[in-house]
Structure 1
Amino acid sequence: MAAPTLSVEQQIQQLDDARKLVLGDVTYYQPIIQGILPIIGPSARVELRRWGAEFLAETFAAPRVPAQQKETLSLIVLETLKVMIENPQEDPAVVKSIVQTAASVYPLVFRWIINNSYDGPTWERMLAIKSRIFRIWDSAASGVRICCIKFAQRVVLVQTAGPDADPRRGDPMEVSLNMVPQNHPLLAPRNLEAEASGLLDRMLGVFQESTRYSDAILIDATLNTLSILIRARPHIANRILNVILNFNPLKQANSPMTPKLRVMVKSMEKTTRLLLMHINKRYADYVLPDPSNADKYSDPQNPLAGRIQQYVERMMRSRNEIFDEASRKRGPPEPTDGLDAAKRQKLAAPVPSATPRFHVPPLKPGPCTVAELFTVTTDEGLKAFDVSVLTQDLVVKIGITILQKLDADTLNQAVEGVRQRYKSLAAAQPEELDPATAPLGVDEDDDDYEPDYFNAEDTEQILNKLDNAPPPEEPKIKVPDVALQHFTLPPPPPLTPDQAVQIGQGTVTRVFGVMQTLEEPAKKIKSGMNRLAASAYDRDAWITIITRLATRASAGLEEPATPVKIESNGADSSSLSNTIRESLYLYVIEDFRKRIDIAVAWLCEEWYNDKVQMKLGEDAVLHYEKWVLKVLDGIVPYLDARDKVLTRFLSEIPGLSLDVLTRVKGLCRDPAMVNLALTSLLYLVMMRPPVREIALDAVEDIWSTYEDAKPIAAKYLTKWRPGFAERLKSKDDEEEEKKGNGIAA
């Protein structure tokens, strides 16, 4: 029996369920895409093709999907993309999503072909898709043309040479023409670069053809794609900027200004201005071939930066002149009441009140609520609105906005109306006696009281009453007031070690949060190790407190209890002191160039603490060596060849060991860092005589290990180690003698 055929709505519902599945777990993308490709093919209903094209565009644009998985998926969907886009009767929405997908797929396929030159059919499919997109670029709908511009931008990025990749800053998945070998059988670098140059000219042509000024959408779309090209390809940045600076978005403002044209001109002008202002702000990162020399190019007198600034100012002046001209020509507005304020005195006309009288209706008779007392509007719709459905933040924003725009006279009239309501409400209430001042047991008829007169009782009657009276009660003993006993709260339950660690970490976090809010103090004269920790409420005071909490609070300076040892990574990692040290380390590494003084101050405290511990006895845990190496390992990967932070750090920390100098020698593995490492070691040789010999040993080790460092290292060793020149000369003579013996043999 054949399975029942599902309707289009039911199929789309199942496809939506599949989309929810892959959004939760990206590992399902490959089986689901392989399963839906037959469903969304060219013969499917247009609703299914639209869903499928949109899903593919969403898949390859999703940042959660790994690049390697996207590369595999691109090979699977390439044939479907080719068949769908080559259909001349295809739906525009489908074509738009297919072009978006192709823009995301092109770098992935290009990378695949670079590494797999045997796969010619895949590259032919990609070329067919690219050719079809370029053919429909000028004739398709505006939405499709915008996607074609994005595809052309990706092609230009891939088929042009990028800057030298820096593994510390660059994108590991970036694709450029530099990756293509010269003898590749499918990719010819010269042809690809020429095609990219022609595509860039085609993109920039929208600014040079006056017939395209009318389509502001394409111009805005092109401007939005050029920012990435300027940033990622500095060698074509000036070419793009020259075209933009010759573009006048206000050119068509001279023609009769219709509402549509007004919006288009404003949009093009704003997009162009914002792009240039952003480029001018990030000039060193976008345009310069070497951003490390940004300080040299940040001068406003730079020709390109000055030209951009002049262009932006000229556009802003022209925009104000064009769009504000109508309001300036009309002049000041005429008075709405027919009388000018200057003529009222002559005409003796009554001057109307600046603010109309605000009428607050009186309350209805009978009891009322607080809301009715303060409701001054007469609009029944506003009265019925429930304000409690609004959030507190929205109510505050609405209230502040109303109070800013509300006239003071109107507010005073409303307050006076509520005051009159309150007075009328108080007058209608019956007067009540104050229980604190009213007389007790007094009635209004007391004034009419007249006593009755009776005959007095004789002696016999009095004695009879006494005989029949009950026995007298014993007098009650008055108990003196007893003072309350001393009350003591029960002691709190003892803290577990985990709770104590959590509380300590929370305290450390709050202390560092306070330090983040403090400004850096001006230069002061420090008192060295004997300065007061809390002499001022500034950053230095908090740093001193924190470092001494880490080094002295639980250091055990008076009662050493453990054998002498160097602290390791696993030694008492949960203690409060190590928690503070770890937080200090993270705080320094977060911005080590500005906070290197904090690192030095902290390590000086650690060194001082270690020395005191060793002086008091043999039982101590030493921390200085571990943390100085950890700080050095944290800053070394991010050093630049022109940084002076390393030299300052090595010169100011109190102790230098062979492990520290080993880290410095390791910098020479990068040829760009050789000069920095040797300069830092030379500074130690010149300014720190106690470590001169081990520093020279490190320089000599660099000379013997790294070929790129030999000229500079030999120069330093010749100056500071006189015997090195003779040893070097004898070594050269031996090598020449060996070469001569080899030639003779």
Structure 2
Amino acid sequence: MSSSAQSLGQLEAARSLALGESRYYPTIIPGVLPIIAYNGQGGSIDIWRWGADFLAETFASPAWPLDEKAKSALAALPILRDYLLEVQDSTVIKSAVQAAASIYPLVYRHIIAEPNDTQTWQVMLAIKTNILRRMDGAPPGVRICCVKFVQQVVLVQSPGPIADPRRPEQNDISLTLVPRDHRLIPYANQEAEASGLLDRLLDIVHGDHSDALLITATLNTLGMLIQRRPIVSNKILNSLFNFNPLKLANAPMTSKNKVLMKSIERTTRALLVNVMRRNPDGPFTRQIQQYLDRMHRMRIDVLDESNRKRPAPVEQTDGTDPAKRQRLGPQTVPTPPTPPIPALPAGPVSYRELFTLSTDANTALFDVKMFQDPEQLLRIVVPVLHSIDEAKLTNAINIIRSRYLTLSKAMPRAPPSGAAGATADDDEEYEPDFGPIEDAEQIINKLDSAPPVTTLPERIPDARLAPYKLPEAPPLTEQEVVRYGDMAVRRVVEILASVDEAPTKAKATKAGFNRLAASNYDRDSWVTVLCRLATRASAGLEDPDAGIKSEYGGEVQKGGSLVLSDSIRDAIYNYIIRDWKRRIDIAISWLTEEWYNGQILAQATSNGSMKNGVNGHTPSSLAVNGTYKKSVLRLLDGILAYIEGTDKVLVRFISEIPGLDRDILQRMKKMAEDPERIDLAVMVLKYLYMFRPPVRTICVDVLEDMWRTNDRAKPSAEKILKIWRPEVLREGEEGGDVKAA
């Protein structure tokens, strides 16, 4: 027992190491497999449980590559077979079935590539047969794991879509990858077996609903099948439309049955809602919506308790049947007495006394200052105001209004301006003093000791506000400038993406070369602003010390608007690549601005106006000539990754950009390596030869290079070279004759 515990401790240490760093899996698994292998009845059940759990966890982890995982899976197959055939512990069996579900696609892909590996496939068939035999009579937990395994078998043995025929290693493992004449896994047999297993899953859904966990587990597996295998989605959805999740309503309505029905109904509704969200315009959207509405009505009829109760009998209130029941008179609801409203005290009245209608003295002790956050106070006051009776609120407002009017009439009014002027002029009248004369110091002391004045003021005194000036913001660091610049760029791109790209009505704008670049706020205006910010910033807005040559020959690089320019260029590039077919005009405008900026910089450099004053050095050649070319090549490489042979928009793009050279046109040769895009590459070169005479020599050179190096593109290039450069073909024929001789 101590040796078993010691082994478990070592195994847990290895497991923790693999979980922390997935690259250790290929090293740890070969050392773990001999320890966890089945070695007869004398082995430790704890080791087997740990081993089955470890294999299920390891092969379900997406953290390590599939190629290495497939090699380890082949080594673990015999251990899983022994677990399923020899061990009777349910915990070991459940983990072994889960591990087999993760391993099955890997073994299937191995068998597709190695049709002569009969031994491995026989081991896998033994595991699959044992698991399928357990589906009907095993305990519920084991059956749920078997359902997961069957889902993987149906996924693998059903035809799936091909994402990219040129990269088969990235395609989903499915029956589509199996050759028709495969020796071990015949195509027709595999497809028939997958169809039969799918029928078994659907039979579980339509079977006994007493085991809700098994039903919900099966429904959850159907969601992935609908998403990843469109070829079987019609069959699954048609079966679900005939599915009744409230099947237990015919049984006694116990609390357990209610919980089971709610669980199955919610899982079914979530499955269909997710299907409808992933494809809102699909052919089954209307049927799914109708099924959900019908299921909602059924759920209300079955599970809503309010509709199942008997309504209360209607009592007679007119007294027409005194023999059966006591005469009932009309009921009157007693009106609660209205609490007395306190009268205002004599003398000065404060705001609190004016608005207080309650007789409870404790309300005056409540301090509103305890609410530091105004939002918290609003969350309390607004619901209280909603709960107040409208009639009581109106009555209270009228009482406050009458109080205010009474106080306004009782308060002395200020004398009119005419009377004040007359009093000021009548200075000679005798006015005796009726009290002791107090000096200024006594009056100030009396005012300091007096209580604060809480009476209603007669008027608000006039007060002139003093001038207020905001404090100056601290200077920004270089990192903050770059960050805020990136934020501004992202905001402009978001505005650009939100602008309607549909063609608008023609506006009365000034045309020609003297028009404004951004006369309104449409998409073209924002594009122009972004392009010129990216290009013109490197033509004089950058740090004047940028690009200075040091005395050791190195170039001093400093942060400035060049960083902002690169950020704007990246934003424009990403915006174009997201929908490059519709935004090809933006790409042309951007590259035109880059080319124009390069020409202006080159002209200024040749005139000597761009010298920076340090040893007479001029801006770098990359800033003058390389930015346009770098942008063209980057955008062209991004487009060529997604372009197809029928996308004629590439002809427009190449023909309308202002500058072409050999490096740019060499991309057509690279594109012609794909057989489906040879005609498009030749079409671009032919169009440029016909309509852009300055690059004719380069176009013919690229065609000649394509003819010499690409055998698949040779017939298409030969048709054009026969007209524009026939001597190349004659040289090829002479060389062929010499070789034949």
TM-score by length of structure 2 reads 0.65
Partner amino acid for 2:66?
Answer: A
- Partners of 2:120 and 2:377 lie apart in 1 by 59
CA drift at 1:100: 0.7
- Partners of 1:437 and 1:40 lie apart in 2 by 104
Q: Quick check: 1:82 aligned with 2:69?
A: no
Partner amino acid for 1:512?
Answer: V
Decide whether aligned partners of structure 1 residues 368 and 237 sit closer, same or farther in structure 2, where only a CA change above 3 A counts: closer
- Partners of 1:118 and 1:722 lie apart in 2 by 50
Partner amino acid for 2:332?
Answer: A
Partner amino acid for 2:631?
Answer: W
Decide whether aligned partners of structure 1 residues 315 and 632 sit closer, same or farther in structure 2, where only a CA change above 3 A counts: same
CA drift at 1:333: 8.2
User: Partner of 1:324: helix, strand, or coil?
Assistant: helix
User: Partner of 1:65: helix, strand, or coil?
Assistant: coil
- Partners of 1:573 and 1:637 lie apart in 2 by 34
CA drift at 1:629: 1.3
Partner amino acid for 2:659?
Answer: G
- Partners of 2:536 and 2:725 lie apart in 1 by 49
- Partners of 2:385 and 2:685 lie apart in 1 by 70
Decide whether aligned partners of structure 1 residues 678 and 402 sit closer, same or farther in structure 2, where only a CA change above 3 A counts: farther
Counterpart in the other structure of 1:613:
601
1:676-705, Cα deviation, whole Å (9 max, x unpaired):
434545655676566567557656765676
1:456-513, Cα deviation, whole Å (9 max, x unpaired):
xxxxxxxxxxxxxxxxxxxxxxxxxxxxxxxxx99x99x9xxx74x455324312222
1:405-458, Cα deviation, whole Å (9 max, x unpaired):
9953299999x9xxxxxxxxxxxxxxxxxxx9993345999xxxxxxxxxxxxx
Deviates more, 1:126-135 or 1:12-21: 12-21
Unaligned runs of 5+ in 2: 319-328, 337-356, 397-439, 450-470, 549-554, 607-617
Deviates more, 1:226-235 or 1:601-610: 226-235
Counterpart in the other structure of 2:531:
547
Counterpart in the other structure of 1:94:
92
CA drift at 1:275: 4.0
User: Partner of 2:86: helix, strand, or coil?
Assistant: coil
Counterpart in the other structure of 1:70:
69
Does the 8 A contact of 2:482 with 2:563 survive in 1? no
CA drift at 1:103: 0.7
5 Å matches for 1:551-570?
551-556=535-540
Partner amino acid for 2:57?
Answer: E
CA drift at 1:101: 0.6
Counterpart in the other structure of 2:631:
627
Does the 8 A contact of 2:59 with 2:99 survive in 1? yes
CA drift at 1:105: 1.3
User: Please, which of 29, 36, 47 is the counterpart of residue 25 of structure 2?
Assistant: 29
Deviates more, 1:641-650 or 1:530-539: 530-539
Q: Quick check: 1:229 aligned with 2:213?
A: no
Counterpart in the other structure of 1:343:
none
Counterpart in the other structure of 1:147:
145
Decide whether aligned partners of structure 1 residues 18 and 676 sit closer, same or farther in structure 2, where only a CA change above 3 A counts: same
Counterpart in the other structure of 1:599:
587
Does the 8 A contact of 2:669 with 2:681 survive in 1? yes
5 Å matches for 1:439-450?
439-441=443-445
5 Å matches for 1:379-418?
407-409=386-388
Partner amino acid for 1:323?
Answer: R
Decide whether aligned partners of structure 1 residues 603 and 252 sit closer, same or farther in structure 2, where only a CA change above 3 A counts: same
5 Å matches for 1:357-396?
none
Counterpart in the other structure of 2:399:
none
CA drift at 1:312: 1.5
Aligned residues: 612
Deviates more, 1:186-195 or 1:95-104: 186-195
Decide whether aligned partners of structure 1 residues 102 and 121 sit closer, same or farther in structure 2, where only a CA change above 3 A counts: same
5 Å matches for 1:289-368?
305-306=282-283, 308-325=284-301, 347=330, 349-350=332-333
CA drift at 1:233: 4.0
Counterpart in the other structure of 2:350:
none
5 Å matches for 1:580-599?
580-581=565-566, 583-585=568-570, 587-589=572-574, 590-593=577-580, 595-599=583-587
Decide whether aligned partners of structure 1 residues 690 and 728 sit closer, same or farther in structure 2, where only a CA change above 3 A counts: closer
- Partners of 2:42 and 2:383 lie apart in 1 by 62
User: Partner of 1:553: helix, strand, or coil?
Assistant: helix
Decide whether aligned partners of structure 1 residues 365 and 20 sit closer, same or farther in structure 2, where only a CA change above 3 A counts: same
Counterpart in the other structure of 1:506:
483
- Partners of 2:718 and 2:136 lie apart in 1 by 65
Counterpart in the other structure of 1:38:
35
Does the 8 A contact of 1:168 with 1:638 survive in 2? no
5 Å matches for 1:593-742?
593=580, 595-618=583-606, 621-622=624-625, 623-643=627-647, 645-681=649-685, 684=688, 706=710, 717=720, 723=723
Deviates more, 1:60-69 or 1:131-140: 60-69
Decide whether aligned partners of structure 1 residues 222 and 444 sit closer, same or farther in structure 2, where only a CA change above 3 A counts: closer
Partner amino acid for 1:349?
Answer: T
Partner amino acid for 1:544?
Answer: T
How well do the aligned residues superpose, as a CA RMSD in angstroms? 5.7
Partner amino acid for 1:515?
Answer: V
Decide whether aligned partners of structure 1 residues 259 and 511 sit closer, same or farther in structure 2, where only a CA change above 3 A counts: same
Counterpart in the other structure of 2:53:
54
Counterpart in the other structure of 1:459:
none
- Partners of 1:104 and 1:573 lie apart in 2 by 53
Partner amino acid for 1:84?
Answer: Y
Does the 8 A contact of 1:607 with 1:654 survive in 2? yes
Decide whether aligned partners of structure 1 residues 695 and 105 sit closer, same or farther in structure 2, where only a CA change above 3 A counts: same
- Partners of 2:197 and 2:702 lie apart in 1 by 54
5 Å matches for 1:528-547?
532=516, 540-547=524-531
- Partners of 1:138 and 1:406 lie apart in 2 by 63
Does the 8 A contact of 1:137 with 1:145 survive in 2? yes
CA drift at 1:99: 0.7
Does the 8 A contact of 1:640 with 1:673 survive in 2? yes
1:111-150, Cα deviation, whole Å (9 max, x unpaired):
3445556655443332222111111011112232222122
CA drift at 1:656: 2.4
- Partners of 1:199 and 1:369 lie apart in 2 by 72
- Partners of 1:257 and 1:641 lie apart in 2 by 64
Unaligned runs of 5+ in 1: 284-297, 341-345, 354-358, 375-387, 417-435, 446-488, 564-569
